[in-house]
Amino acid sequence: MPEFKVILFMCNWGPHAAYQELQDRAAEIPPEIQMVRIPCSGRISKALLFKAFEMGADGVLLLGCETGTCRYGTGTATALKNVEDTRGILALLGLGADRLRFASFMPDEAEALLEFLQTAISDIRAIGPSPVTPPVKRSPILEEAETIRQVVAAHDVYACQDCGKCSSACSLTLSGKPFSPRAIAGAVINGEIASQAVRDGIWSCLTCGLCYDRCPSAVDFPLFIRDMRNVLSNAGLPGFEAHGGFFQSLMRTMTSPGVRPRHYEWLSGDIKTDHKSKILFFGGCAPYFDIFYRNHLGVETARILKDAIRLLNFFDIYPQILEDERCCGHDLLWSGDRESFRKLARLNVDRIREAGVEEVVTACPECYRTLATDYPAEGVEVPFRVVHLFEILDREIEKGAVEFKGPEQILTFQDPCRLSRLENRPELPRKLLARLESWDFREMPDSGRGAICCGNTAWIGCDAFSKALQAKRLRQARETGSDLLVTACPKCQIHLKCAMEDPFQGEDLQMTLRDLTSILADAIQWA
């Protein structure tokens, strides 16, 4: 019998009593099952459910009490939502939604439980073994002193003059967090890496790059932090991943060559693509975000992908798409997992090369930065051009005979750090904003290269201070008198929307958010 692993998370109350009865009478519980007893099914978050798949489980079963009988009130309801969302993600990832199931049992339902377990196992067996190769457990690299010296030298952190321009600009510092880029730089140079404060600092940084923009010695602090995170991860130290590390798990899962995502299954038929085109549209992970956040924020970031292709279609460009598109790896690189990043990068480049593509278009600032800059910098050669959708739109609109019609609104713009600062292209979205003639555009006080961060990068270190700086940013946006906050990155939208959910100051922070790509797609017309 091939080794088949199904993890059974079982609530301590209803189902466990039934399970014990099965054990007591030595019932034939399928041997594939590895049972983990838990206090309540509602405590198994999406991250925990998914972690099992990242580690190579062929299936996961979550058992709870029946709705209404939860000892803690909302456990079952929460579990149902978590399972539904994770199933959606599994489907999109191509693993198959049916590898994960929820069921509820009362203590006296031992027979029903046994039948459920047997059916579930045979169903999961029918889907086949999981294509995920679990990550090989490495022994931690403890010889960190030398690596750290190399990182410090590579980014010339020694050039830091301790002047404090960085902390006077840093969005985090200004939101009140005891955080200082120059202090971290100094401490790392002095070999104080064991200090918890320094480690916390390394995981707190937004890597938004505002400090690098201001630094008179041009110390590239974001890249330094990125590499320091890699050093800490290699040493086996935990990171500060938000959402229980769900997204990092998701992206690591994609490093298995056998995984074949179904990235565009949701795309409707009025979108035209051409599998022979020399132009490839690289969408990014937004479809996963929409599923993950559907019960909380209700964001619609996958629309950006659809609207981007709509816009290309408008100009008679019918790009190729990769049905099995994977993550670009941005978040893995920036959360310290360079090894997985390189795996993903190689898989992606091989796949794109195989597709015979000459130009890759993306509407995501992170994919743009990662494909265009980080892949070559990390030693993965890119045999194609990488362009941002906005460049193509600007070129096509420039030809004329196009106009934009829509409600007269006052717009303001949240710069995505990867596009406006790290890639230094703040003019790209602005050229397009300037073409929306019937709209009024007003800049926030901190804009372009100097824009304040949306609050988080790479799903790392989200805390109350992130919230404080988001609230500050939203107030700035409202003070411009605008009624629409335009974003150009799915994550800016998610993070700012999250801040608006604040139960205490939410009302003061409300603002309609829309992505620039979607605005253009809805307003563009032939003149």
Q: Applying CB under 8 A, which residues contact another protein?
A: 307, 310-311, 313-314, 316, 396, 398-402, 520-527
Cβ contact 175:465 at 8 Å: yes
Supply the minimum distance, in Å, between the C-beta of residue 308 and another protein. Answer: 10
Q: Which of 11, 57, 12 is nearest to 32 (CA)?
A: 57
Supply the minimum distance, in Å, between the C-beta of residue 217 and another protein. Answer: 38
Q: Enter the tokens of residue 380.
A: 């993965």
223-to-232, 367, 382, 465 alpha-carbon distances in Å? 14, 17, 21, 22
Q: Which of 73, 15, 83, 72 is nearest to 48 (CA)?
A: 83
239/283 with CB nearer another protein: 283
479/522 with CB nearer another protein: 522
224/281 with CB nearer another protein: 281
Supply the minimum distance, in Å, between the C-beta of residue 153 and another protein. Answer: 46
96/406 with CB nearer another protein: 406
39-to-64, 229, 312, 481 alpha-carbon distances in Å? 10, 33, 51, 50
Residue 107 Ramachandran class (φ > 0 left, ψ -120 to 50 alpha, else beta): alpha
Q: If you search the block for the tokens 């602090």, which residue do you land on?
A: 221
Residue 524 has what DSSP assignment? E
109/307 with CB nearer another protein: 307
66/396 with CB nearer another protein: 396
Q: Which helix (H) or strand (E) holds 102?
A: strand 100-104
18/311 with CB nearer another protein: 311
3-state secondary structure at position 60: strand
Cβ contact 222:229 at 8 Å: no
198/308 with CB nearer another protein: 308
Cβ contact 16:37 at 8 Å: yes
Supply the minimum distance, in Å, between the C-beta of residue 490 and another protein. Answer: 19
Supply the minimum distance, in Å, between the C-beta of residue 431 and another protein. Answer: 12
Q: Which helix (H) or strand (E) holds 404?
A: strand 402-404
202/308 with CB nearer another protein: 308
- Describe the chain by its helix, strand, coil percentages, rounded to 5: 50, 10, 40
CA 204, CA 52: separation in Å to the nearest integer?
27
3-state secondary structure at position 100: strand
CA 290, CA 292: separation in Å to the nearest integer?
5
3-state secondary structure at position 6: strand
Q: Enter the tokens of residue 201.
A: 């600092």
Q: Enter the tokens of residue 275.
A: 């599998």
32/307 with CB nearer another protein: 307
Supply the minimum distance, in Å, between the C-beta of residue 22 and another protein. Answer: 58
Supply the minimum distance, in Å, between the C-beta of residue 516 and another protein. Answer: 14
Supply the minimum distance, in Å, between the C-beta of residue 401 and another protein. Answer: 4
Cβ contact 453:325 at 8 Å: no
Residue 68 has what DSSP assignment? T
Supply the minimum distance, in Å, between the C-beta of residue 98 and another protein. Answer: 37
Supply the minimum distance, in Å, between the C-beta of residue 399 and another protein. Answer: 4
